[in-house]
């Protein structure tokens, strides 16, 4: 196993009484794209600033390429940052901005020129080398900021919400470009964002942060499919949370009473005991909804509807989303659920109407069960 | 509406520039004694050139202005840096005293300095005059530069350090270029403040060292001479030139 390029060991940062970062430990492998995802104020930017050296940890240790960074100032760390505001030097043109890091490290002018032009070519800005940075569009400034950082070939490139100032389409395009850039350069990226879509589409692994701690660190799929706790579940997309009680554990089947119905869950044995209070988590797109009318009329549909006993309710409203639509329904117990339905060839209109009596079910095993937390 | 606006603009410009225009026109008046127009003449400019006393005073003024503007720019910039960069207990007090100094009537500053100089036994002359003008200009420089530093985004410093710049390199390549326009503005402000100061100069210079505003003041007391018009016209031309240069410099910076 190769040595990790970056390691945080129990790193904390306190400002007086306030704890911004609380015992964060993580390792980043060489060439990995790691995203720190979290709501504003969760400490994710502080983690980045600690790695960059703008802040010193109150406790714990940061190890970069096997060397402790305690007391090492930012100018002597092999990391570079792409700032949220880009922080391009307004009194320099594009070329001088990108050349700054190389010049500081004492490269010969011909070498500086060669590398800067290479970096500008990489971000498709070779024609704008002599332009002053305040004459560039937001997207172009973003590219200069990236070129200025990667030209130094850092061990780790830190990106602080780099795309948040761009409009939606440009942001999508830059996400893809950033990912390509990272692949082709092989540089380790640590990106901070509050946008889960951005985190999922670019990263190898995602660290979800909440209140200064890492709530879960895993691949995007694992975080979405099997969230470790309610915070992660709710932060990365919409989810339905149903309270339940474990009523039986037979062999590798756990039975949980949810909304007055006993439902078998495929949870490993030994996890739960009878009487445990739990949360059953279901993504809206995993729910299957049919009207009771259709189920009555069509035995085939009824047969294919699944083995999980259905929950009954009534449609409150439908929300059109473009490629999909959400069905918001109220279970007979009063609990609200959201289910996402797709349009397809034989179903091009919103099928459900407010007031429809419906049954809701899901494929057994697609649910996530967590210990009850108020 | 349009002509109303034009009249308004004409009134504003007239209010500002008619006195100057009158002065410029009369500096070319051939008449020595009356305000009647007696024909065009460059005579007063010639006489001015031969008036060595006046020229010496003008030169003195320029030297004092350059020296005191430079000194107060250096000191004022350092004060501004200290006040923005570090948080220390007396920071607010010092910041407030700058404003007090700026607002104080010239006569109060003048008298207090005179008393101080006499107490210290300093002979009044070039040295005391420069000290007095630095006292006058310092707060202006400090406040102008401080304003720029407050608007200065510290992320630029972080970005530079992130790219490998040490303290000196940050100062040399980032802070200095970004702050220079404000420092230059402070210098120009000090220069003009020093050049046209009468009250403070009157009390803090000695008989051996005469500056232009005082010289003009004494000349006018003895009776108005048309050379003064010529002299003031030249000074105005120099000031306009300085303003144009400053404007060009700042435009380049932008």
Express each pLDDT in B5-24 by its tens digit.
999 999 999 999 998 888 88
Q: pLDDT tens digit string along B67-78?
A: 999 999 999 998
**Residue at token pair 């060669």:** A114
pLDDT at B235: 83
Helices in chain B by DSSP H: which ranges? 2-26, 43-50, 52-85, 91-103, 106-120, 126-150, 155-162, 167-170, 176-195, 199-204, 212-221, 226-253
Domain count, chain A: 2
A121 CB neighbour count, 10 Å cutoff: 12
pLDDT at B252: 59
Higher pLDDT, B33 or A341: A341
State whether A276 and A365 are in the same domain.
yes
Q: Which residues does residue A80 pair with via DSSP β-bridges, in sequence order?
A: A157
State whether A185 and A90 are in the same domain.
yes
For residues B57 and B65, what is the distance between their CA atoms, to the nearest angstrom? 12
State whether A244 and A360 are in the same domain.
yes
**Residue at token pair 């007979």:** A332
Which of the listed residues A186, A217, A234 is the one where a domain comes to its end?
A: A234
Q: A116 and A108 in contact (C-beta within 8 Å)?
A: no
Q: In this complex, is the C-beta atom of B127 within 8 Å of any C-beta atom belonging to chain A?
A: no
pLDDT at B250: 66
Please give the interface size between A and B, counted as residue pairs whose CB atoms are below 8 Å apart. Answer: 56
pLDDT (average), residues B180-188 = 87
pLDDT, mean of each 10-residue run, chain A (374 residues): 85 91 93 94 93 94 93 93 92 94 94 95 91 91 94 94 87 90 92 92 94 94 91 90 85 80 74 84 90 84 76 90 88 90 73 88 85 78
pLDDT at A371: 84
State whether A193 and A252 are in the same domain.
no
Q: In this complex, is the C-beta atom of A85 within 8 Å of any C-beta atom belonging to chain B?
A: yes
State whether A190 and A308 are in the same domain.
no
**B248, burial (CB in 10 Å: exposed 0-12, middle 13-18, buried 19+):** exposed
Longest CA–CA separation in chain A, Å: 81
Q: In this complex, is the C-beta atom of B253 within 8 Å of any C-beta atom belonging to chain A?
A: yes
Q: Which residues contact B253 (CB under 8 A, 6 or more apart)?
A: A91, B180, B181
CATH number of the domain at A230, please: 3.40.50.300
| The length of chain B, given as a count of residues | 254
Q: A76 and A68 in contact (C-beta within 8 Å)?
A: no
Most B CBs within 10 A among A49, A91, A148, A159, hence the mutation to make, goes to: A91
Nearest residue to A98 (alpha-carbon basis) of A51, A136, A58 = A136
Buried b (16+ CB within 10 A) or exposed e, A66-89: eeebeeeebbebbbbbbbbebbbb
For residues A99 and A105, what is the distance between their CA atoms, to the nearest angstrom? 10
CB contact under 8 A, B161 and A90: no
pLDDT at B48: 82
**Residue at token pair 């802070």:** B175
Q: A207 and A37 in contact (C-beta within 8 Å)?
A: yes
Chain A CA closest to residue B169: A104
For residues A330 and A4, what is the distance between their CA atoms, to the nearest angstrom? 49
Q: Lay out the sheet containing A67-68: strands in order across.
A: A18-28, A6-15, A59-64, A67-68
Which of the listed residues A173, A203, A234 is the one where a domain comes to its end?
A: A234
Q: Is B63 helix (H, G, I), strand (E, B) or coil?
A: helix
CATH number of the domain at A350, please: 2.40.50.140
Angle at the Cα of A235 from the Cα atoms of A230 and A241, rounded to 5 degrees: 40
Which of the listed residues A178, A207, A234 is the one where a domain comes to its end?
A: A234
Q: In this complex, is the C-beta atom of B160 within 8 Å of any C-beta atom belonging to chain A?
A: yes
Higher pLDDT, B252 or A361: A361
Q: A69 and A41 in contact (C-beta within 8 Å)?
A: no
Q: pLDDT tens digit string along B89-101?
A: 888 888 888 889 8
Of B153, B164, B178, the CB nearest to A101: B164
pLDDT (average), residues B124-150 = 91
Helices in chain A by DSSP H: which ranges? 44-52, 94-104, 109-122, 138-150, 168-185, 196-202, 220-225, 230-235, 292-297, 299-304
CB contact under 8 A, B162 and A148: no
State whether A118 and A37 are in the same domain.
yes
Q: Above 90 in pLDDT, residue B149?
A: no
- In chain B, residues with a C-beta closer than 8 Å to the C-beta of A54 are 158, 161-162
Domains of chain B: 47-253 (1.10.3720.10)
pLDDT at B254: 47
Q: What is the bridge-based pairing of β-strands A188-193 and A277-282?
A: unpaired
Q: Which residues contact B41 (CB under 8 A, 6 or more apart)?
A: B28, B29, B30
Q: Which residues contact A60 (CB under 8 A, 6 or more apart)?
A: A8, A9, A10, A11, A12, A23, A24, A25
State whether A96 and A222 are in the same domain.
yes
* Residue A76 belongs to domain spanning: 6-234
In a domain, A1, yes or no: no
Q: Is B210 helix (H, G, I), strand (E, B) or coil?
A: coil
Q: In this complex, is the C-beta atom of A100 within 8 Å of any C-beta atom belonging to chain B?
A: yes
Split at pLDDT 50, 70, 90, the class of B32 is confident
For residues B153 and B21, what is the distance between their CA atoms, to the nearest angstrom? 44
Average pLDDT over chain B, rounded to whole? Answer: 86
Q: In this complex, is the C-beta atom of B249 within 8 Å of any C-beta atom belonging to chain A?
A: no
Q: Above 80 in pLDDT, residue B87?
A: no
Q: Write the DSSP symbol of residue A194.
A: S
User: How many angstroms separate the Cα of B244 from the Cα of each of A305, B248, B249, B253?
Assistant: 83, 6, 9, 14
Least confident of A45-54, A191-200, B34-43, B56-65: B34-43
Higher pLDDT, B67 or B52: B67
pLDDT (average), residues B23-28 = 86
Q: B162 and A74 in contact (C-beta within 8 Å)?
A: yes
State whether A103 and A202 are in the same domain.
yes
Find the distance separating the first CA and the last CA of chain B, reported in whole Å: 35
B247 CB neighbour count, 10 Å cutoff: 10
For residues A80 and A276, what is the distance between their CA atoms, to the nearest angstrom? 49
Q: A105 and B164 in contact (C-beta within 8 Å)?
A: yes
State whether A204 and A81 are in the same domain.
yes
State whether A148 and A264 are in the same domain.
no
In a domain, A293, yes or no: yes
In a domain, A80, yes or no: yes
For residues B254 and B248, what is the distance between their CA atoms, to the nearest angstrom? 10
Q: Which residues contact A107 (CB under 8 A, 6 or more apart)?
A: A115
Q: pLDDT tens digit string along B199-218?
A: 999 999 888 888 888 888 88
State whether A323 and A213 are in the same domain.
no
Q: Which helix (H) or strand (E) holds A66?
A: none
Q: What is the bridge-based pairing of β-strands A287-291 and A357-362?
A: antiparallel
Q: What is the bridge-based pairing of β-strands A336-342 and A324-331?
A: antiparallel
In a domain, A289, yes or no: yes
State whether A278 and A195 are in the same domain.
no
């Amino acid at each position: 196993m190769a040595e990790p390029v970056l390691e945080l060991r129990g790193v904390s940062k306190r400002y007086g009484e306030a704890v911004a970062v609380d015992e964060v430990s993580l390792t980043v492998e060489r060439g990995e794209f790691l995203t720190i995802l979290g709501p504003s104020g969760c400490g994710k930017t502080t983690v980045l600033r600690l790695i960059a050296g703008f802040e010193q940890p109150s406790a714990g240790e940061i190890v970069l390429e096997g060397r402790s960074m305690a007391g090492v100032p930012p100018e002597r760390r092999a990391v570079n940052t792409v700032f949220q505001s880009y922080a391009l030097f307004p009194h320099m043109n594009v070329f001088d901005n990108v050349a700054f890091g190389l010049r500081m490290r004492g490269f010969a002018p011909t070498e500086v020129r060669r590398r800067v032009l290479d970096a500008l070519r990489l971000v498709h800005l070779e024609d704008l080398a002599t332009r002053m940075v305040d004459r560039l569009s937001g997207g172009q400034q973003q590219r200069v900021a990236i070129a200025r950082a990667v030209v130094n070939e850092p061990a780790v490139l830190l990106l602080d919400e780099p795309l948040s100032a761009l409009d939606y389409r440009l942001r999508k395009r830059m996400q893809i470009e950033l990912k390509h850039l990272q692949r082709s350069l092989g540089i380790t990226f640590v990106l901070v964002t509050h946008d889960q879509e951005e985190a999922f589409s670019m990263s190898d692994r995602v660290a979800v942060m909440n209140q200064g701690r890492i709530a879960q660190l895993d691949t995007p799929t694992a975080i979405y499919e099997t969230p470790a706790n309610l915070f992660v579940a709710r932060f990365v997309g919409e989810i339905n949370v149903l309270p339940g009680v474990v009523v039986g554990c037979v062999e590798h089947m756990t039975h949980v009473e949810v909304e007055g119905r006993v439902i078998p869950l495929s949870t490993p044995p030994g996890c739960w005991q009878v009487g445990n209070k739990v949360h059953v988590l279901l993504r809206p797109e995993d729910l299957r909804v049919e009207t009771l009318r259709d189920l009555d009329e069509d035995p085939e549909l009824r047969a294919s509807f699944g083995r999980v006993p259905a929950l009954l309710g009534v449609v409150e409203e439908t929300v059109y989303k473009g490629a999909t639509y959400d069905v918001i329904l109220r279970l007979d117990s009063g609990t609200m659920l959201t289910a996402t339905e797709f349009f397809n060839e034989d179903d091009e209109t919103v099928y459900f109407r407010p007031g429809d009596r419906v049954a809701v079910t899901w494929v057994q095993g697609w649910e996530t069960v967590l210990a009850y937390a108020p | 509406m349009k002509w109303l606006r034009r009249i308004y603009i004409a009134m504003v410009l007239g209010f500002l520039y008619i006195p100057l225009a009158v002065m410029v026109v009369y500096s070319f008046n051939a008449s020595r004694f009356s305000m009647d127009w007696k024909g065009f003449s460059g005579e007063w400019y010639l006489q001015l050139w031969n008036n060595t006393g006046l020229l010496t005073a003008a030169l003195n003024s320029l030297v004092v202005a350059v020296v005191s503007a430079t000194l107060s720019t250096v000191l004022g910039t350092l004060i501004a840096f200290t006040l923005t960069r570090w948080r220390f207990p007396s920071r607010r007090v010092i910041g407030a005293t700058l404003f007090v100094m700026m607002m104080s009537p010239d006569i109060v500053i003048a008298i207090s300095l005179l008393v101080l100089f006499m107490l210290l036994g300093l002979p009044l002359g070039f040295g005391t005059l420069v000290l007095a003008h630095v006292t006058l200009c310092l707060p202006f420089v400090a406040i102008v530069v401080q304003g720029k530093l407050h608007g200065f985004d510290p992320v630029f410093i972080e970005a530079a350090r992130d790219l490998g710049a040490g303290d000196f390199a940050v100062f040399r390549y980032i802070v200095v270029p970004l702050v220079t326009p404000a420092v230059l503005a402070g210098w120009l402000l000090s220069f003009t403040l020093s050049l046209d100061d009468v009250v403070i100069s009157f009390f803090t210079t000695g008989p051996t060292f005469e500056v232009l505003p005082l010289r003009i003041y004494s000349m006018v007391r003895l009776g108005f001479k048309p050379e003064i018009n010529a002299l003031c016209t030249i000074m105005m031309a120099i000031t306009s030139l300085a303003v144009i240069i400053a404007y060009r410099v700042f435009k380049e910076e932008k």
